[in-house]
Amino acid sequence: MKQKEKVFRELYSQYRQHWYLICLRYQPSSTQADDALQNGLIKIFKNYHQFDQKRGDFKSWSSKIMVNENLMLIRKNKSIFAFDELANSDIPHDTSEGAIDRMSMEELVLLIQNLPDGYRSVFNLYVIEGYSHKEISELLNISVGTSKSQLHKAKKMLQTEIQIVL
């Protein structure tokens, strides 16, 4: 048992920041990100015996658990279904070249956190996690068209916010 605890402490030390950044991207506040991290850690350590090195590396395996835990918490709070809250808004979408390069990681994460829940979920799954629109539609129980629309609106909203910040 002591050896297992030591391994878990080392894994936590190595991946905590990575896991926490995943949670910050999906959750609208650091308090909710802390909760998501805690729940995800429990699942990672509880299901560690299911990890198979032959199928991939630990970082990818544990990241997928963190993403799924964040999606589950969003669903639990029923905020994922607010996909059309900005459906009719007209958001300008012109940004200067290299604007993101001038932003810190904290500023960028904060902008992503401030997206409406549906936009934020689709944006993270597509842009950051690399899921296809078909996979996103299945994960979130929405249509492929809704996924594409939410991604487009999230990008436009981020572009507007980047202009304001810079």
Query: Is the predicted pLDDT of residue 76 greater than 90, yes or no?
Result: no
Per-residue model confidence as pLDDT tens digits over 84-126: 443 434 444 444 445 555 667 788 888 898 999 899 999 999 9
Stretch 121-139: mean pLDDT: 92
CATH 1.10.1740.10 positions along the chain are 2-77
Sequence-distant (≥ 6) Cβ neighbours of residue 144 within 8 angstroms: 133, 134, 137
**Cα(156)–Cα(75) distance, integer angstroms:** 24
**Cα(112)–Cα(114) distance, integer angstroms:** 5
Ranges of beta strands (E only) in the chain are none
Q: What CATH code would you report for 2-77?
A: 1.10.1740.10
Check residue 74 and give its pLDDT: 83
CATH topology of domain 83-165: Arc Repressor Mutant, subunit A (1.10.10)
pTM for the predicted model, two decimal places: 0.70
CATH 1.10.10.10 positions along the chain are 83-165
Check residue 95 and give its pLDDT: 42
